[in-house]
Amino acid sequence: MSTTTPPAAGSDQAVRPTDPSALVAALREHLAPADVLTDPAAVEPYRSDVTGLRAVRPPAVVVVPRTVEQVQAVARAATAHGVPLVVRGAGTGLAGAAAAPAGGIVLSTEGLAGIRIDADDHVAVVGPGAITDHVDLAAREHGLMYAPDPASSQISTIGGNIATNAGGLRCVKYGVTRESVLALDVVLADGTLLRTGHRSVKGVTGYDLVSLIVGSEGTLGIVVGATLRLLPAPTHVRTLVVSVPSLPDAGRAVGAVTGSGVRPSTVELLNAATLENIDAHSGTDLVDRHGGGLVLVRTDGPGADAEITALADALSAAGLAAQVLDDAEGERYYELRRTGRGHRTDLWSVGEDVAVPRSALVPVLEAIEEIGRRFDVEVTAVAHAGDGNLHPGLSTPRRHGETEPPARLHEAADALVRAALAHGGTISGEHGVGIAKRRWLADELGAEQVALQRAIKAVLDPAGILAPGGFLADDGVAPR
């Protein structure tokens, strides 16, 4: 999806020259032969995530452990042989964080996908390879739900969601992945199994290592089990849409919703270019209906009806006409937002992910439009607007004979990230830093905090085995 050219994936920095055959033999002592892949064709699908970012050399081996003990054995082998190890969920990541390490090990969690619902305690106990939607569906059989819902929930794994601290459309009400993780089982680089967190609703003993692991992008440990908070599933959902002809209208709509006293379960903003994309891809007529843009708002739970009426009234008071949809139409709009957009192969494109304070949403949207004009790139924008989380898309036409995107696309992406930082925002709202965004890491965190974060990694992973080419890589890459 992203076509930026950040530093090559999977830096070789932790790799000591090693004999791959000795490593593979060590792994085969613990895993079934079919779960240790070395054939180039079998390894190839594990080399990158959705970004396509990849190391110049393939990994030496892909392993598919079926037990926690096997994960521990793989970690010990990686440490003993001094080879880098990258954990892989479903490879839907948008930051290149799951890119395979050159000559190293990819540990796929697809063989660790168990799901158990403990309805009395409102928790799910799951393996890292469990598909996000499968956890939610299993919970629904008990009248419960797993709340975080990245738009990739049909294909992403819980382990990947935890490692990226994934957000989603419902997170404006229910919080991002971090808020739903009670306890984690984590295998460290030396093979130690760490059990951290608590199964009880409350628990404050010691440092909060669960929060440290959540969002750590596979650099601190391998999540092998998770205890997840479940909530009562809302039986009732209501949806409204508001046409927003201009950016100030969009700002007023979001402000009216978030200032209404009602806590909606979804507040999404789609600009005109995004509506055009959906129309072209899904055969809809959103541009005709909504022109310059659209805000989609949902409420859920027993109060959904009263709340959607209150929100429509608040929007009306702000001079905006809300249209409350029937259930079928509400679902249709929701699905169009989640899955209605298409990927255009005739364009070079960069999908961005930044987050800003809600009050900065409109200024940053204006800045993005100005950046589009300044660098002559097309701009689309989708936002989890209630969270201030923007996903602008930047693109230019692919010209005949071009083998890589024009420099102005990277320059526009750089200007966009810097605009978010200048407005008090962050370089990633939910997709993570990975390889794709690490050149901006120090711009946000500062050198001291980057050094501190590297020191924390060194405590848990002193040999630098886990994702050495990831967001904390110290390979001299200067911010672009």
Ligand X SMILES: Cc1cc2nc3c(=O)[nH]c(=O)nc-3n(C[C@H](O)[C@H](O)[C@H](O)COP(=O)(O)OP(=O)(O)OC[C@H]3O[C@@H](n4cnc5c(N)ncnc54)[C@H](O)[C@@H]3O)c2cc1C
Given the rule CB under 6 A, which of 62-70, 214-222, 356-364, 446-454 is the region that contacts ligand X?
214-222
Nearer to ligand X, 164 or 180 (CB): 164
Task: Give the whole-angstrom CA distance, residue 219 versus residue 151.
Answer: 24
Nearer to ligand X, 157 or 196 (CB): 157
Tell me: does residue 464 bind ligand X (CB under 6 A): no
Nearer to ligand X, 49 or 307 (CB): 49
Question: In angstroms, what is the minimal distance from the CB of 460 to ligand X?
Answer: 12
- Roughly what angle, to the nearest 10 degrees, separates helices 247-258 and 304-317? 140
List the one residue from 168, 225, 405, 468 that touches ligand X (CB under 6 A).
168
Tell me: does residue 274 bind ligand X (CB under 6 A): no
CA dihedral 282, 284, 287, 289 (to 10 degrees): -150
Residues in region 88-107 near ligand X by CB under 6 A: 88-94, 97-98
Tell me: does residue 239 bind ligand X (CB under 6 A): no
Question: In angstroms, what is the minimal distance from the CB of 459 to ligand X?
Answer: 17
**Cβ proximity of 351 and 94 under 8 Å:** yes
- Roughly what angle, to the nearest 10 degrees, separates helices 361-374 and 247-258? 160
Name residue, tokens 């304070």. 357
Would you list the DSSP string of 169-229? TTHHHH--GGGGEEEEEEE-TTS-EEEEE-SSS----SS-HHHHHTT-TTSS-EEEEEEEE
- How many residues belong to the site for ligand X (CB under 6 A)? 35
Q: What is the DSSP letter of 146?
A: -
List the one residue from 156, 227, 277, 349 that touches ligand X (CB under 6 A).
156
What is the residue type of 354?
V
List the one residue from 6, 197, 218, 392 that touches ligand X (CB under 6 A).
218
Would you list the DSSP string of 324-388? EEPHHHHHHHHHHHHH-----TTEEEEE--EE--GGGHHHHHHHHHHHHHHTT-EEEEEEEGGGT
Given the rule CB under 6 A, which of 21-29, 51-59, 218-226, 358-366 is the region that contacts ligand X?
218-226
Question: In angstroms, what is the minimal distance from the CB of 428 to ligand X?
Answer: 9
Tell me: does residue 379 bind ligand X (CB under 6 A): no
Question: In angstroms, what is the minimal distance from the CB of 321 to ligand X?
Answer: 28
**String marking each residue 415-434 x if it binds ligand X according to CB under 6 A:** ---------------xx---
| Residues facing 118 on adjacent strands | 123
Nearer to ligand X, 184 or 322 (CB): 184
Nearer to ligand X, 160 or 392 (CB): 160
What is the residue type of 277?
N
List the one residue from 9, 14, 15, 50 that touches ligand X (CB under 6 A).
50
**Cβ proximity of 282 and 340 under 8 Å:** yes
* Closest residue to bound ligand X by CB: 160
Whole-angstrom CA distances from 113 to 28, 64, 180, 197 are: 22, 12, 18, 20
Tell me: does residue 189 bind ligand X (CB under 6 A): no
Tell me: does residue 128 bind ligand X (CB under 6 A): yes
| Residues facing 390 on adjacent strands | 354, 383
Whole-angstrom CA distances from 398 to 173, 241, 349, 369, 394 are: 40, 35, 9, 21, 13
Question: In angstroms, what is the minimal distance from the CB of 291 to ligand X?
Answer: 25
List the one residue from 117, 166, 417, 465 that touches ligand X (CB under 6 A).
166
Nearer to ligand X, 210 or 322 (CB): 210
List the one residue from 163, 254, 272, 360 that touches ligand X (CB under 6 A).
163
Task: Give the whole-angstrom CA distance, residue 471 versus residue 215.
Answer: 11
Question: In angstroms, what is the minimal distance from the CB of 217 to ligand X?
Answer: 4
b/e 96-123 (16+ beta carbons within 10 angstroms → b): bbbbbbbbbbbbbbbbbbebebeeeebb
Nearer to ligand X, 110 or 366 (CB): 110
Tell me: does residue 473 bind ligand X (CB under 6 A): no
Q: H or E stretch including 238?
A: strand 237-243
Tell me: does residue 340 bind ligand X (CB under 6 A): no
Question: In angstroms, what is the minimal distance from the CB of 245 to ligand X?
Answer: 26
What is the residue type of 268?
E
Nearer to ligand X, 161 or 274 (CB): 161
Tell me: does residue 159 bind ligand X (CB under 6 A): yes
Tell me: does residue 152 bind ligand X (CB under 6 A): yes
Positions in the binding site for ligand X (CB under 6 A): 49-50, 86-94, 97-98, 109, 128, 150-152, 156-157, 159-161, 163-164, 166-168, 217-218, 222-223, 430-431, 467
